[in-house]
Amino acid sequence: MIHPLFFSPSIEGGGVEKNLFLISNYLTQKSNKVYLLTANRNMKNNFNKKIIFVSPKTNYWNNKSRFLKGVICFFLFLRLKKNFLIISFQSNILAIFIAKIFQQKIIIRSNTAPEKYINNFVTSIFFKFFFSMANEIIVNSKLFRSSLKKILGLNSVVIYNPIKSKKFFKKYSKKKKLKILTVGRLTDQKNHLLLLNSVKNLKNNIKWDLKIIGRGYKKSKIIDFIKENNLSKKVKILNYKKDITKELLRSDLFILSSNYEGLPNVLIEAQQVGTPIISTNCKTGPSEILLNGKLGTLVPIKNEKILIEKIKEFYFDRRKFIKKAKLAKKYLYRFEYEKNCKKYREIIKKNIYS
């Protein structure tokens, strides 16, 4: 019998991981056995106890590089004496390599816009060669699917990120001090320095504070920037939180300053709570979630001037932004948990029995 095996060598606590938790846990309701192959033991409590955890017996590897974790997962796979359908949520090239060596079927879920990693002829040939070996490619937005088709000539299936339905009452503050929130790994991708430069250059008559939730290799550089610009009283960095609902409810405005994305979960979570959004119009995801600006405000990537303008616009008159935030709740059905998880189950079932 073929069993589904989720492949994610490094579980770091971002949007990809939230989807991994939701989808793998959903599968345990519909499958006799679900396996997870990872080098991160510290995230085990996020998974259903029915999931068979394949990982090192030590926590030593938790904070090592993705490369080393990938190597560990390769050797862990050698011990498994079963037939699997591999569902890769990370390190897709390695997962495809393992699948072909051991003659296993594989579904890959691509999480980041191809424009990030395919920037010349050589990389396009490389990724097309490996990705074409997958039995199925899943992407999380329609624009993502179009990009993959245009750049690599490969077909893919769109499944939106699932989110469990919850109802919240958002109280919109009338206080003049602006509470801004951003959530994301502290990496170049998320471009926190764009946001920090923007709020730093707001005029003195605009009162604000900023919370940054996340962790990553850019943390020390971000802390240095905060200290050098005397922003320590206005900017707080909080560690990764599994649930950011309370922070969203406390915040007046959510800002995403990324250079590229896949389908950023945090925007969907902000919509669910009703928090107004300003996001860079990066590839891919934000424009699709925000319906090209109908449900939130889009600004060009790496454009500090326009981002400052939109923050100022929100500060002096929030009504238009709040109206969009309220309207966004009517479109959350696109990310409904059961509907999107069911699509994963159907694709997995098709590949197991085909």
**C-alpha torsion angle, residues 314, 318, 324, 327 (rounded to 10):** 150
- Side-chain-side CA neighbours of residue 299 (13 Å): 22
- pLDDT tens across 248-269, in order? 999 999 999 999 998 999 999 9
Domain extent listing, the chain: 2-162+336-353, 178-334
Dist CA 27 CA 236 (whole Å): 38
pLDDT recorded at residue 288: 96
Q: Which residue has the higher pLDDT, 53 or 41?
A: 53
Can you give 165-230 as a three-state secondary structure string? CCCCCCCCCCCCCEEEEEECCCCHHHCHHHHHHHHHCCCCCCCEEEEEECCCCCHHHHHHHHHHCC
| CATH 3.40.50.2000 applies to domain 178-334 | yes
At residue 56, does pLDDT exceed 80?
yes
- In this structure, how many other beta carbons lie within 10 angstroms of the beta carbon of residue 248? 21
Q: Could you check whether 2-162+336-353 and 178-334 share the same CATH topology?
A: yes
pLDDT recorded at residue 112: 85
Looking at CATH, the fold of the domain delimited by 2-162+336-353 is given as Rossmann fold (3.40.50)
Dist CA 223 CA 226 (whole Å): 5
Dist CA 178 CA 255 (whole Å): 12
Q: Which residue has the higher pLDDT, 87 or 169?
A: 87
Dist CA 184 CA 160 (whole Å): 19
Rounded to the nearest 10 degrees, what angle do helices 219-228 and 192-200 cross at? 10
pLDDT recorded at residue 114: 87
At residue 208, does pLDDT exceed 80?
yes
pLDDT recorded at residue 299: 98
**Which tokens is 23 given?**
């989808």
At residue 1, does pLDDT exceed 90?
no
Pairing mode, strands 105-109 and 136-139: parallel
Phi/psi for 172 (5° steps) reads -85, 120
pLDDT recorded at residue 119: 82
Mean pLDDT of 109-131: 90
Dist CA 279 CA 145 (whole Å): 21
